[in-house]
Amino acid sequence: MTENSPLSPGSTIGILGGGQLGRMLAMSAAQLGFRVIGYAPAGDNVAASACNDFFENGWGDTTALSVFASQCDVVTWEFENVPLSAVEAIPSSLLAANPKSLQIAQDRLNEKRFVEELGARCAPYMRVESDDDFATALDRVGTPGILKTARDGYDGKGQWRINSAHEAEGVRFPGRPCIYEGMVNFEAEFSVILARAADGTIRIWDSSANTHDGGMLVKSIIPAGPVVEAQINAAQDIARQTANALQYVGVLTLEFFATRDGPVFNEMAPRVHNSGHWTIEGAATSQFENHIRAICGLPLGGTETRFASIDMRNIVGEDALNAHDILAEEGEPHLHLYGKREAREGRKMGHVTRVSHD
Ligand code: AMP
């Protein structure tokens, strides 16, 4: 797919990854008349039921990856931990976005350095690759802080919070590359979610105020409030520069802490994001639709917020079992369940978005 040749209806989009983000991308793709083929290792691939076809093969299965690619007109990903080797097995002419964005986002150290070079501020951090490094980092960065695995962490997994030097004694270097960062005393958290088209056009959604618990997103609220709103321009500027520096195509998310001294960059995701689920009902065009539009060379849709207030909450673990009760609520609860087979503790099972004109 090139900048000048939008994909026609009936073309096939390949999605690497089989989770809820892939499922919602596939739904948007179907609405625009595209076929979708998913690819992920065997598991509870909830995207599969929204796809026309689904490959359940390992990331190392280059034969399956080539068969998958041969059936696609464009290929995208729905999570950032797809092994780079799998992405590199796909002809680069089919890849919607530069795999460099994945390479950077897969490693916390890389992403902080990359975005710092563009002028962003990060919490103080140090690379930790041994017990000695950990001791040095504790000494230089101090406590409180968080030890995070450099790769493969998500929803607070692979993270150890260390509130005091005493607590640090109980935490061991986990034996794989980590980053130790100082705890940020933030007033709020927010994300900047943008869509960038191949011609460089960028559309940015309003930022929601995001609340996390134990590292996992609990809710996203619009309006984000004055503390966040005062910092959005500076954060958007960094996000725009990041997208341009990567010649990125699709939806890109950067997460920030709003502090007294301005926005502090936390991490980026080269994909649609949980904190953008509110855009399905709450914005002129959802993050999922604009991602599909961007990767297929179609004009981006408007990102304006359509309501005075929006409240998106994740439905986690066994709460999903009674989620249909939400439908009896007054107002306009928009329920999304992801069709996961097992409501395990801490597992994102769905979300509900409540919108209001008040
Ligand atoms: P992460 O996986 O890095 O996005 O971290 C998940 C969540 O943990 C963040 O959204 C914050 O709520 C919290 N967190 C992570 N790093 C820090 C930090 N350096 N200071 C304060 N809170 C943090």
Contact (Cβ atoms closer than 8 angstroms) between residue 173 and residue 134: yes
Give the integer Cα–Cα distance in Å for 303 and 291: 12
Q: Which candidate, 82, 92, 120, places its Cα nearest to that of 242?
A: 120
Residue type, 9: P
For residue 212, the ligand 1 atom closest to its alpha carbon is 12
Mean pLDDT of the chain: 95
From the CA of 181, give the closest atom in ligand 1: 19
**From the CA of 110, how far away is ligand 1's center (Å)?**
17
User: Which range (148-162, 220-234, 297-311) has the least confidence?
Assistant: 148-162
Q: 73, 11 in Cβ contact below 8 A?
A: yes
> Quick check: 347 pLDDT over 60?
yes
pLDDT level of residue 2 (50, 70, 90 thresholds) = very low
Number of H helices, E strands in the chain: 11, 17
Ligand 1 centroid from CA 200, angstroms: 30
- Expressed in angstroms and rounded, the spacing between residue 211 Cα and the centre of ligand 1 is 10
Strands 35-40 and 125-128 come out as unpaired
Nearest to 307 by CA among 243, 245, 221: 221
* 281, 353, 358 from 307: Cα distances, Å: 9, 12, 8
CB distance 212 to ligand 1 below 6 Å: yes
CA of 216 to the centre of ligand 1 (A): 9
Give 182 Cα–ligand 1 centroid separation in angstroms: 10
Per-residue pLDDT for 299 more than 50?
yes
**Ligand 1 near 189 CB (within 6 A):** yes
* SS3 at position 326: helix
Q: Whose CA is nearest to atom 19 of ligand 1?
A: 183
pLDDT at 65 over 50: yes
Ligand 1 and 333: CB distance under 6 A: no
Report pLDDT digits (tens) over 15-46. Answer: 999 999 999 999 999 999 999 999 999 999 99
Enumerate residues 6+ apart whose C-beta is below 8 A from 324. 335
What single letter denotes the amino acid at residue 87? V
| Per-residue pLDDT tens digits for 213-245 | 989 999 999 999 999 999 999 999 999 999 999
